[in-house]
């Protein structure tokens, strides 16, 4: 074996891309690559991209522009584009940036090792939605120790076709991985030091993978099976759709000790008129009733959400309805975005809201969310919560971890090691973190 080749991966977009980047790095490990932290020393650069908003997609081209000098210095450098921009734009990427050698979509990256070998002599593009399952084709995962938290993709794709969204086109139809594969992967992760697993899917609560008994298992059933994995301390899942919150999943939030009290449940808008135009198939009222049922099962659960402002034809009254919904829910955290017209989606054909008006709404919404987020976090002071320690802090003896509610917590704890779960009494709240002492 010669010197290992160096791979630099930059990841944009959602957690699923983070998971995919890990798997792509592992796949290229078989071709002799090790991962490095900077593009300057790399033999191959791979951008794992996101197409969700125009800004995210455009970033890829500005980033590629920056690699021009590197490629000129080192003609053997291979540059690849993976992920959702790769899927959406395919060969167009090479037309715009001829220095790109390889384009691979999110459903075909198990073919990356052969593509990498071919990339030295020709341009290679693969944006198929192949019959075979990429996870079945990929080698089993390495056994090296790793950090205490991990993502695990259990479901991919989306059949919901919200009028603004590219995901059904870039990720394809909804597919669930079989239960036994997920359990095997989870046990392997735990053996390697993982204590918390976040189950991923674009519509993770629509999970319906084949169980060992031949039935289609719900996400709740999968969570209960993971609950029995020794050494696994925490289970989370994201992202959920309000229409797929099954009774058993709501109940699990009250009954499963390992399932954390945090739920990301995007609603996008509080106006029924806009929800309808978004093709969301739920109303503001049905969402509020759902939140009530979830809180009845787990009163302390922290709810987070996603919002789009300035969706085509959104009026000030529609926007106020969103603000009212936020008031009613009281979010622990939320992401909010100005609507971005995406080519090929139905909403892209419709009249846009004035850009300044949309900016103004986004600012008002974010101010409200920030207030609620701060109130929720401040409300933790005086409580004792579970913390999974992830790394040392900046101060001597200090450790940083995440609470059950996903807040960052700083603790003076020189005797605690990474990967330990401890009870912490929260003493103070800063803008983006909490501090406390071991209980």
Number of residues that bind ligand SF4 (CB under 6 A): 10
Is 195 a residue that touches ligand SAH (CB under 6 A)?
Answer: no
Q: What gap in Å lies between CA 92 and CA 431, rounded to an integer?
A: 43
In angstroms, give the least distance from the CB of 337 to ligand F3S: 11
Q: What gap in Å lies between CA 186 and CA 199, rounded to an integer?
A: 10
- Return the residues of window 405-424 that contact ligand F3S according to CB under 6 A: none
The partner residues of 307 in beta bridges, in order of sequence, read 268, 336
Q: What gap in Å lies between CA 192 and CA 187, rounded to an integer?
A: 9
Work out what residue 361 binds among ligand SAH, ligand F3S, ligand SF4, none; the CB cut-off runs from 5 to 8 Å by kind.
Answer: none
Is 51 a residue that touches ligand F3S (CB under 6 A)?
Answer: yes
- Return the residues of window 253-292 that contact ligand SAH according to CB under 6 A: 266, 268
What is the distance in angstroms between the CA of the first residue and the CA of the last residue of the chain? 51
Among 51, 111, 195, 241, which residue interacts with ligand SAH (rule: CB under 6 A)?
241
Could you give the string, one character per residue 203-222, with x where binding to ligand SF4 holds by CB under 6 A and - elsewhere? x-------------------
Q: Identify whether the C-beta of residue 241 lies closer than 8 Å to the C-beta of residue 203.
A: yes
- Residue whose token pair is 């870039």: 170
Q: Cβ–Cβ contacts within 10 Å for residue 305, how many?
A: 23
- Residue whose token pair is 């394809």: 172
Report which of 278, 266, 344 is spatially closest to residue 310, judged by C-alpha positions: 278
Is 171 a residue that touches ligand F3S (CB under 6 A)?
Answer: yes
Cβ closer to ligand SAH: 113 or 266? 266
Could you give the 3-state DSSP secondary structure of residue 307? strand
Q: Identify whether the C-beta of residue 88 lies closer than 8 Å to the C-beta of residue 51.
A: yes
Tokens of 75: 């003609």
Judging by beta carbons within 10 Å of its beta carbon (0-12, 13-18, 19+), is residue 99 exposed, middle or buried? middle
Work out what residue 308 binds among ligand F3S, ligand SF4, ligand SAH, none; the CB cut-off runs from 5 to 8 Å by kind.
Answer: ligand SAH
Among 192, 272, 337, 378, which residue interacts with ligand SAH (rule: CB under 6 A)?
337
- Residue whose token pair is 């933790």: 380
In angstroms, give the least distance from the CB of 18 to ligand SAH: 14
Is 167 a residue that touches ligand SAH (CB under 6 A)?
Answer: yes
Is 166 a residue that touches ligand F3S (CB under 6 A)?
Answer: yes
Is 134 a residue that touches ligand SF4 (CB under 6 A)?
Answer: no
Is 157 a residue that touches ligand F3S (CB under 6 A)?
Answer: no
Is 17 a residue that touches ligand SAH (CB under 6 A)?
Answer: no
The one segment of 108-116, 164-172, 314-322, 364-372 that binds ligand SF4 by CB under 6 A: 164-172
**Counting every residue, how long is the chain?**
439
Could you give the 3-state DSSP secondary structure of residue 35? strand
Tokens of 150: 């991990």
Work out what residue 193 binds among ligand SAH, ligand F3S, ligand SF4, none; the CB cut-off runs from 5 to 8 Å by kind.
Answer: none
- The binding site for ligand SAH (CB under 6 A) comprises 52-53, 164-165, 167, 202-203, 239, 241, 266, 268, 306, 308, 337, 339-340, 342
**Interface ranges with ligand F3S (CB under 6 A):** 13-14, 16-17, 50-52, 83-84, 166-167, 170-171
């Amino acid at each position: 074996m010669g010197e290992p080749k160096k791979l630099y991966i930059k990841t944009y977009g959602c957690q699923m891309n983070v998971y995919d980047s890990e798997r792509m790095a592992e796949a290229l490990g078989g071709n002799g690559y090790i991962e490095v932290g900077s593009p300057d020393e790399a033999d191959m650069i791979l951008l794992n991209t996101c197409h969700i908003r125009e800004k995210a997609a455009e970033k890829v081209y500005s980033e590629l522009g920056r690699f021009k000098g590197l490629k000129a210095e080192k003609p053997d450098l291979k540059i690849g584009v993976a992920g959702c921009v790769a899927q959406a734009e395919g060969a167009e990427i090479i037309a715009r940036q001829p220095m790109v050698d390889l384009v691979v979509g999110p459903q075909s990256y198990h073919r990356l090792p052969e593509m990498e070998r071919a990339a030295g002599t020709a341009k290679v593009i693969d944006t198929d939605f192949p019959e075979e399952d990429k996870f079945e084709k990929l080698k089993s995962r390495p056994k090296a120790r790793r950090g205490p938290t991990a993502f695990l993709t259990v479901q991919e794709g989306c059949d919901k076709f919200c009028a603004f969204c590219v995901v059904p086109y870039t990720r394809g139809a909804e597919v669930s991985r079989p239960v036994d594969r997920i359990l095997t992967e989870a046990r392997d992760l735990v053996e390697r030091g993982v204590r918390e697993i976040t189950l991923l899917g674009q519509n993770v609560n629509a999970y319906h993978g084949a169980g060992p008994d031949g039935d289609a298992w719900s996400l709740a059933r999968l969570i209960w099976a993971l609950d029995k994995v020794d050494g696994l301390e925490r289970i989370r899942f994201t992202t959920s759709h309000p229409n797929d919150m099954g009774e058993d999943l709501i109940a699990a939030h009250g009954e499963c000790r390992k399932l954390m009290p945090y739920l990301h449940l995007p609603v996008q808008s509080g106006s029924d008129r806009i929800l309808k135009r978004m093709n969301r198939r739920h109303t503001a009222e049905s969402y509020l009733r759902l939140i009530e049922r979830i809180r009845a099962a787990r009163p302390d659960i922290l709810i987070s959400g996603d919002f789009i402002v300035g969706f085509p034809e959104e009026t000030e009254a529609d926007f106020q309805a969103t603000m009212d919904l936020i008031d009613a829910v009281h979010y622990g955290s939320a992401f909010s975005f100005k609507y971005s017209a995406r080519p090929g989606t139905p909403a892209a054909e419709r009249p846009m809201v004035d850009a300044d008006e949309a900016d103004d709404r986004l600012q008002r919404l974010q101010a409200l969310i920030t207030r609620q987020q701060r109130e929720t976090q401040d409300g933790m002071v005086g409580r004792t919560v579970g913390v999974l320690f992830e790394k040392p802090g900046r101060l001597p003896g200090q450790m940083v971890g995440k609470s059950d509610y996903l807040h960052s917590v700083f603790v003076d704890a020189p005797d605690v090691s990474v990967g330990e779960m401890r009870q912490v009494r929260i003493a103070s709240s800063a803008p983006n973190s909490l501090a406390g002492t071991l209980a």
